[in-house]
A and B are shown apart, each in its own frame.
Chain A
């Protein structure tokens, strides 16, 4: 009995010491954060509440840190700094399966199987946003796209996009193994995020270059191009590559059929 009381007293003593120690830490920490850069203050706040950013940080620390470094500072020769890229960039890269990248290469290819769910991508986005702000995606994008002028978007597309993605949105080659991907099956959000953040080799089309309304027009045109344009010219579009595949077709289909015909006709003697 006495022993247990003694033990309880020992516990209480230790708890008290811990409480005093914690109190001292809080005071010191509070003082420190009061005078230190605001970043750390936010971090402690963020840690205090179980926010999306924290969940994002956990994912970041297990899946992204080896290339993008501590706190998104980047690693020389492996991955760029992510400070200031914003949640739009993160969501684009993660939701299209480009990040995490399987291997270093000319460019991260999009894959059909993203590693993270869209929710997790939002957490990651929140963490990166919290590290240094940056651009996000407008909430009412789909409504904006529905109302947008397709023809105006076509004009913008030809001037700004076709030099890499091609006149029909099929994609195109860039130097040293990089490429502009096909726009087939790409969502409104992804196009918007890509324009806003300039992933891989793509230039950034910030809001002072293309306003959100112009971006919506552009998206409307791209969606028309890849989804609604019914290719009135025939059953086979030849991949809309233009003369390259047309030349192939005239030899593989036209000339081949007619060479067989010459064999047939000349054989009938």
Chain B
């Protein structure tokens, strides 16, 4: 056989040509490779959710090979001594075997669970970024709504997932869900009976949740995530205002090679963090919970953190039971559980429309807003965050009470009062901070930077020397317009001092001849 001639480059070219001849790839891939993405750390938060979702699919597939979603009663005969000879469901048995007898099984289970927590946590953080920068405004309201739906799909997907092993804690969670379902007026008991196939816990709920957990919801999530990312692609990513950036362009890096490299690196880093957490931090030790029995409820039974605020609201809500004899009873859990959850779905879903209505802002926005520039929205967001955090803390109030030696009753009342009072205080404080920051930006634009140099004039008056950002008029004022981006607040931002070295662990810049790094005259943008 004759050896082929030619360099590897020409081989690649040839291969590319052959492929293009057959599949017509050159044009679409050229467009794709040249697509530009703006670069900012906060634009990477959604990717954390995306990449942990991929890891969820992979680890979940591994778990599905060994898990048996059956509520048939069996006797445990595995390796974990304190459960030997105990009656349990096949589901719990297989989850224990998966943890103790399948090689790498416990690691995969823990990685699946940590990925879930990271998925939900990064969705929340991503959502806050979108909210506080106004990225949800037209034309991106649809994608915001898809994001909210994704959160709630993830919420229930996670809930179903930790219900599957049929351990003590997951059964308690299902019991609470049963209670919430039953509290719905008129249809509640029927809905609950349909869900559990009769009386709780029944014999069918695990296998039903299983198919929802491993097929229906992942499919919905995958489809919606595709649409979500696709819409970002089509509508183009928002960007921060700054030099050279307008509503009609995108300043950033090409998809290939720069952006792809960053994304792959980030993905591997995320998976690395999740792998490390799965190996180092024990999560959901189902063997300690024991099999689910209706009569067993451990203290400190909490749901996962993304469900915890609802649990907190249920714990805080007063025991106001509405009775209309002889037939109708509305249990108190209905208000925080069903109404609370309904509002938590609907209000975020409708927020872009509500904001449009109240601000009468009907323009298209591709440039982001700094949180300080929309004080009302930012304060509203902080208000919701404070409300949510109080809910989460109250969801774990028994753990707090015990470990910090606080009366549980005091925790409950602090939560009740805090839930009403603290968000209002948070709104006011945030509003004032935003206005203060806005004012300081305007001050610097009008009078210049504070140099920190104090002067004393002949009649004894002290004053600080200001460095104007442009040629000042006769009163020492500059008429500069605020363009929605970072205003330099320190002298080294405008090149008065050598800028800090670039590089994370060590400098990647060569020091210049005179020992000082190259001076920069331009205001840096895109980083702060």
The interface of chain A, by Cβ under 8 A from chain B, is: 106, 149-155, 158-159, 162-168, 170-177, 179-180, 221, 224-225, 229, 231-238, 240-251, 253-255, 257-259, 261-269
Nearest CB in chain B to that of A152: its residue? B85
The 5 lowest CB-CB distance pairs between A and B, nearest first, are: A247-B305, A233-B282, A172-B299, A177-B407, A244-B396
Minimum CB–CB distance from B267 to chain A (whole Å) comes to 11
CA distance A254 to B504 in the complex (A): 20
Q: For B265, what are the chain A residues with a Cβ–Cβ distance below 8 Å?
A: 265
Q: Is B402 an interface residue (CB 8 A)?
A: yes
Interface-centre pick from B118, B253, B299 (highest chain A CB count, 10 A): B299
Q: Given A106-B407, A251-B121, A255-B121: A265 and B296 within 8 A (CB)?
A: no
Chain A residues with CB below 8 A from B57, complex form: none
Q: Is A267 touching B45 in the complex (CB atoms < 8 A)? A: no
**Residues B296-310 near A (CB distance < 8 A):** 296-306, 308
Q: With A and B bound together, what is the CA distance between A163 and B169 in angstroms?
A: 12
Q: Which residue of B lies closest to A249 (CB)?
A: B281
Given A242-B169, A267-B41, A269-B526: A158 and B296 interface contact (C-beta under 8 Å):
yes
Report chain A residues within 8 Å CB of B44.
262, 265-266
Q: Which of B282, B405, B410 contacts A238 (CB 8 A)?
A: B282
Complex CA–CA separation, A235 to B278 (angstroms): 10
Q: A155-B86, A243-B396, A258-B269 given. 20 additional CB < 8 A pairs?
A: A163-B298, A168-B285, A173-B398, A232-B282, A233-B282, A233-B285, A234-B110, A234-B282, A236-B280, A237-B282, A242-B300, A244-B395, A250-B118, A250-B121, A254-B121, A255-B48, A258-B270, A264-B504, A265-B266, A269-B39
17 residue pairs of the A-B complex, CB under 8 angstroms, read A150-B82, A159-B293, A162-B290, A165-B299, A167-B290, A175-B407, A175-B408, A177-B406, A233-B283, A234-B278, A234-B283, A242-B169, A243-B305, A251-B121, A254-B118, A261-B269, A266-B43
> Is B42 at the interface (CB under 8 A from chain A)?
yes
A166 to B343, CA, bound (A): 33
**Residue B12 lies at the interface, judged by CB distance under 8 Å to chain A:** no
B106: CB under 8 A from chain A? yes
Chain B, 33-67, contact with A by CB distance < 8 Å: what is the 0/1 string? 00000011111110010000000000000000000
Instruction: Using CB atoms and an 8 Å cutoff, list the residues of chain B in contact with chain A.
Output: 39-45, 48, 81-86, 99-100, 106, 110, 113-114, 117-118, 121-122, 125, 168-169, 253, 262, 265-266, 269-270, 273-274, 277-285, 288-290, 293, 295-306, 308, 392, 395-399, 401-402, 405-410, 504, 526-527
Give every chain B residue within 8 A of A248 (Cβ-Cβ): 305
B397 to chain A: closest residue by CB: A173
When distances are taken between beta carbons in the complex, the residues of chain B under 8 Å from A153 are: 82
Shortest CB-to-CB span from B268 to chain A, Å, is 10
Query: Which chain A residue lies CB-closest to B84?
Result: A151
**Nearest CB in chain B: distance from A263 CB, A:** 5
Residue in A106, A175, A250 whose Cβ sees the most chain B Cβ within 10 Å? A250
The residue that A172 contacts in the complex, of B278, B282, B300, with Cβ under 8 A, is: B300
Option from B277, B285, B410 in Cβ contact (under 8 Å) with A240 = B285
Query: Pick the contact of B392 from A232, A235, A247, A267 — CB < 8 Å?
Result: A247
Residues in B neighbouring A158, C-beta threshold 8 A: 168, 290, 293, 296, 298
Report how far A30 CA is from B99 CA in the complex, Å: 74
CA distance in complex: A268, B253 (Å): 12
Contacting pair A267 B527 (CB below 8 A) = yes
A179 contacts across to B, CB distance below 8 A? 401-402, 405
Q: Are A154 and B168 in contact (CB under 8 A)?
A: no
Contacts of B39 in A (CB 8 A): 266, 269
How long is the Cα–Cα vector from A213 to B285 in the complex, in angstroms?
Answer: 28
- Contact A266/B277 with A236-B282, A250-B118, A258-B48 known, Cβ cut-off 8 Å: no
- Decide if B277 touches A258 in the complex (CB within 8 Å): no
Task: Please name all residues of chain A whose beta carbon is closer than 8 Å to the beta carbon of B281 when the two chains form the complex.
Answer: 233-236, 238, 246, 249, 253
Residue of A nearest to B399 (CB): A244
The CA-CA distance from A170 to B284 in the complex, in Å, is 15
Q: Which residues of A contact B408 (CB under 8 A)?
A: 173-177
- Residue of B with least CB distance to A236: B281
Chain B residues contacting A175 (CB-CB under 8 Å) are 407-409
**Chain B residue with Cβ nearest A237:** B282
B266: chain A residues at CB < 8 Å are 261-262, 265
Which residue of B has the minimal Cβ distance to A172? B299
**Across the two chains, which residue of chain B brings its CB closest to A245?**
B399
Known contacts A162-B296, A242-B169, A265-B44: A172-B398 contact under CB 8 Å? yes
Contact A267 B504 (CB under 8 A): yes
- The residue in chain A whose Cβ has the minimal distance to the Cβ of B297 is A163
With A246-B283, A267-B41 known as contacts, the answer to whether A224 contacts B81 (CB < 8 A) is yes
- Selected from B83, B282, B527, the residue in CB contact (under 8 A) with A154 is B83
B19 to chain A, nearest CB (A): 31
Task: Report the bound CA distance from A255 to B118 in whole Å.
Answer: 7
> Nearest CB to that of A266 among chain B residues?
B41
Indicate if the CB atoms of B81 and A151 lie closer than 8 Å. yes
- Cβ distance A98 to chain B, nearest Cβ, rounded Å: 15
Contacting residues, chain B, for A244 (C-beta < 8 A): 300, 302, 305, 308, 395-396, 399
Closest to A254 in B: B118
Chain B residues lying within 8 Å of A164, measured Cβ to Cβ, are: 299
Residue pair B299, A234 in contact (C-beta under 8 Å): no
Decide: B117 and A247 in contact? CB cutoff 8 A: yes
A254–B81 touching, CB < 8 Å: no
Contact B270 A151 (CB under 8 A): no
A contact residues around B285 at 8 Å (CB):
168, 231, 233, 237, 240
Chain A residues lying within 8 Å of B410, measured Cβ to Cβ, are 177
Please give the distance in Å from A2's CB to the nearest CB on chain B: 80
Task: Select from chain A the residue with minimum beta-carbon distance to B110.
Answer: A233
Assess the A173–B282 pair: CB atoms within 8 A.
no
Q: Give the residue name and chain of the B residue nearest to A162 (CB).
A: B298
| Chain B residues within 8 Å of A150, by CB | 81-82
Q: How far is the CA of A134 from the CA of B240 in the complex (A)?
A: 77
- Give the residues in chain A near B295, CB-CB below 8 Å: 159
Task: Report yes or no: B81 in contact with A243, Cβ–Cβ below 8 A.
Answer: no
